[in-house]
């Protein structure tokens, strides 16, 4: 490992995961995470105030644990990176305040970076430098986006996004309908393995006719979520058992079919040979399998980080921070804001 590459600590607090990662160049030294998911499970979703308080409690211990595991001292850092947005406002403020304190105390530059761009950048610690351009499909609880990425440190171009429920949000809501625990994604994935993915013909939003003409690369999963809910209600009203595995498998197939179909189409139309899939839903086994098959058929190279790097984590923030340092990007000002609606085109605050 080269010691002349930038050593960056990254802090991620956009939702319910307190993530602290340390990266040197393209090498991940540590990815420490403190999750508050169990505290939100009884509410069936993330409670912003609960998440913010959990970040406050976990921040210092998680930073200390990360440094100890990586074998580095805070004074050894070349920069501090932090998610400045998008995300939950209160949660973001905790991370941004912590990063500012570190940067000020250590007299180190600070990089306030975009959460979505960081989901793209994290793949460098697993598969090396990103091809330029790369097509990125980001799928998580709050976002479903197709991005053309000529330069992840400064040039990210949105091609399409969700217009209602993001894919991860739909997974959570359908899981609730099926009586599965929160967060819904992993539980639906597991249930679907025993189901028939063509048992029920659920709708594919924005894939035909006028909708496709107006929303070529956009996503809509609200109608799908409603269709699943109504199907289950009708089944229950008739006194029949609900085949949870078949419903889960058919719902999941509808989601990943749309995601992969549009991603492949975007690659072809823009002449991009590399597709990266990131975000929490990228851990879904069926999405990974279908994307691999369709990319192979289309002659497109597929990059997907390992599941632990798909969910929110500090490693992705540190990775983008390290790339920004290496490319000579100007650091953020110390008064950088936390922006809950930070656009993906703004890679750095």
Is residue 149 within 8 A of residue 155, CB to CB? The reply is: yes
In CATH terms, the fold of domain 134-305 is Nucleotidyltransferase; domain 5 (3.30.420)
Q: Is the pLDDT of residue 319 over 60?
A: yes
What order do you get walking across the sheet with 7-12 strand by strand? Answer: 27-35, 17-24, 7-12, 79-85, 110-114
Residue 144: pLDDT band (50, 70, 90) is very high
The residues near 172 (Cβ < 8 Å, ≥ 6 apart) are 44, 45, 141, 182, 183, 184, 185
Collapsing DSSP states into helix, strand and coil, what is residue 87?
A: coil
Q: Determine the Cα–Cα distance for residues 52 and 50; give it in Å rounded to an integer.
A: 6
Residue 185: pLDDT band (50, 70, 90) is very high
Q: Is the pLDDT of residue 42 over 90?
A: no
Average pLDDT, stretch 167-182?
A: 95
Q: Is the pLDDT of residue 3 over 70?
A: no
What order do you get walking across the sheet with 144-151 strand by strand? Answer: 155-161, 144-151, 134-139, 274-278, 301-303
Give the tokens for residue 108: 């180190």
For residue 281, the model assigns a pLDDT of 94
Residue 47: pLDDT band (50, 70, 90) is confident
The phi, psi pair for 306, rounded to 5°, reads -60, 155
Average pLDDT, stretch 185-200?
A: 97
Is residue 218 within 8 A of residue 158, CB to CB? The reply is: no
Closest Cα partner for 159 from 270, 255, 261, 260?
A: 270
What is the CATH code of the structural domain delimited by 7-122+313-326?
Answer: 3.30.420.40
For residue 312, the model assigns a pLDDT of 92
Residue 1: pLDDT band (50, 70, 90) is low
Looking at the chain, the domain(s) classified CATH 3.30.420.40 span: 7-122+313-326, 134-305
| Averaged pLDDT score across all residues of the chain | 95
């Amino acid at each position: 490992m080269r010691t002349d590459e930038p050593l960056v600590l990254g802090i991620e607090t956009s939702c319910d995961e307190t993530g602290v990662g340390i990266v040197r160049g393209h090498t991940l030294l540590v990815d420490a995470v403190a999750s508050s998911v169990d505290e939100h499970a009884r509410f069936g979703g993330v409670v912003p105030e609960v998440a913010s308080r959990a970040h406050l409690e976990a921040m210092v211990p998680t930073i200390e644990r990360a440094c100890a595991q990586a074998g580095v001292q805070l004074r050894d850092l070349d920069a501090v990176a932090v998610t400045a947005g998008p995300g939950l406002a209160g949660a973001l403020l905790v991370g941004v305040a912590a990063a500012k304190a570190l940067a000020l105390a250590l007299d180190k530059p600070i990089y306030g970076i975009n959460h979505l761009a960081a989901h793209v950048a994290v793949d460098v610690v697993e598969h090396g430098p990103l091809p330029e351009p790369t097509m990125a499909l980001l799928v998580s609880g709050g976002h479903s986006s197709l991005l053309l990425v000529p330069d992840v440190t400064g040039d990210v171009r949105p091609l399409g996004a969700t217009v209602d429920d993001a894919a991860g949000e739909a997974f959570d809501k359908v899981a609730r309908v099926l009586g599965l625990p929160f967060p819904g994604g992993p539980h639906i994935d597991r249930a679907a393995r025993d189901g028939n993915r063509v048992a029920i013909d659920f709708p594919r939003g924005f894939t035909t006719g006028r909708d496709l003409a107006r929303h070529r690369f956009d996503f809509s999963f609200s109608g799908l979520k409603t269709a699943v809910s109504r199907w289950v209600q009708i089944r229950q009203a008739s006194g029949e058992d609900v085949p949870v595995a078949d419903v889960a498998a058919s719902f999941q197939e509808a989601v990943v079919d749309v995601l992969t179909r549009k991603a492949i189409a975007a690659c072809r139309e823009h002449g991009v040979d590399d597709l990266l899939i990131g975000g929490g839903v990228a851990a879904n086994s069926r999405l990974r399998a279908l994307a691999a098959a369709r990319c192979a058929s289309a002659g497109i190279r597929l990059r997907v980080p390992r599941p632990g790097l798909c969910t929110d984590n500090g490693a992705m923030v540190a990775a983008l921070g390290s790339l920004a340092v290496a490319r000579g990007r100007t650091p953020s000002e110390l008064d950088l804001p936390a922006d809950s609606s930070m656009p993906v085109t703004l890679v750095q605050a």
